[in-house]
Amino acid sequence: MRAEYIEEAIAQLSNKFQKEFYKNVYPKIDTKSLEVLRIFCLTIIFVVTVIYIYFVIINIHSELFYFILFFSLFILGFFKFLSSFYKRKVKKIYYDQIVKVTGLKWFQGEKRSLDAYAPQINKSKLFMHSSHIIEDDVICGSYMDVPIKISDACIMDEGYSTKNSREKHSPTRMFKGILVYFNSNKKISSTTLIKPKVDLSFLNKLWMYLLMLFWAFFGGVVFFMGIFAAFVSGTFDLVSIIFGLVFFLGFGYWFVESAVLRELRHNKNLEKINLEDTDFSKKYQAYSYEQVEGRYLLTTAFIDRFLCVGKAFKNNSMRCAFVEDKIILAIPTFGDSFEISSLFISLKNPKFVKSFFDQIASILVLVEYFKLDENTNL
């Protein structure tokens, strides 16, 4: 019943935004030009794909076959360029008008580094390592006099990052998705956080971990084969033994430090908070340095709204932290966020417009709870 009430509040707010959008913004959008551009780009993709497939088929037994397969990387890069070009065109011309419907503002972050927020991210314990943040699209402003920032962000491991925006796709990346940052209107002295029960964030660095294990294993094999050869044949290859031992210990320690010790240090002194909400407990686990404050913050009303944000984004892997009187919400996504049009999604499609405003509304309803709650101290 509680969840239904909150979902109704989200739907009403979203419907309000959609009515405003279709009344005052949509008529000003040159949808015909956008459709022509979109269809033109799709036509290029279709023609290039057909030509490529034709050359693959006729050269399947030719010496050029592998060269043609390799050339597919350039074709995929070209397709990505067309997709990015169309998205940038739509965002640059119309997104500010679209987002104004919600009372907020949009701007393109241009991959700016926002290290001003890194201390809160690190203190929040949302992620295992020290963080470096790069934002792309940013929606910001005030809702009910509460300052709020919603961004499409990447969070990198500062231990490996060179603070280069190109590292968005490197193995240093720990998080890609929506980052929400706003005041809680509560006095918070400790840190309380919510994390998924099944935490798969380590997959962002899986191939790096596998590489460490491979070289540690390789070093171990060289070392033990050198020792074995010394016993069997009496030949003592000191260089191979030292080489193998260095690789085994060096890469082995690097793996243990990165994947195990950091996690142990990260969770030091954090206490589990077991909540009675069964829907929440199936998907998430709460932690805090202070049990009393943690339970004071994680009210039933907050948990209901938190879960409704997950429904709006169709995501059960969110993270949330209360730290330094702020709330940080991290919602992992695949691809670009806040998309209401792309090469494969027409702006005329109301389904994606509705989804866009539903997501914004779910976040604002969460903000509204803390604004209404500030005078009650609940």
Q: Where are the beta strands (DSSP E) in the chain?
A: 105-113, 131-143, 146-157, 173-183, 191-196, 271-273, 284-288, 319-323, 326-332
* Range of lowest pLDDT (152-156, 193-197, 317-321): 152-156
According to DSSP, the β-strands at 173-183 and 271-273 are unpaired
Rounded to an integer, the average pLDDT of 320-349 is 79
Q: What are the beta bridge partners of residue 178?
A: 152, 331
pLDDT digits (tens, 9 = 90+) for 74-110: 888 888 888 878 877 777 777 888 888 888 888 765 4
Where do the domains of the chain lie? Answer: 2-26+105-200+269-373, 205-266
Share above pLDDT 90 across residues of the chain, in percent, rounded to a whole number? 1
Phi, then psi, of 114 in degrees rounded to 5: -115, 65
For 298, the 3-state DSSP assignment is coil
* Range of lowest pLDDT (258-262, 267-271, 319-323): 258-262
Residues in CB range of 16: below 8 A, 6 or more apart: none
CA distance linking residue 197 with residue 201, whole number of Å: 12
CB atoms within 10 A of CB 17: 23
* Nearest in space to 345 (alpha carbons), one of 90, 93, 138: 90
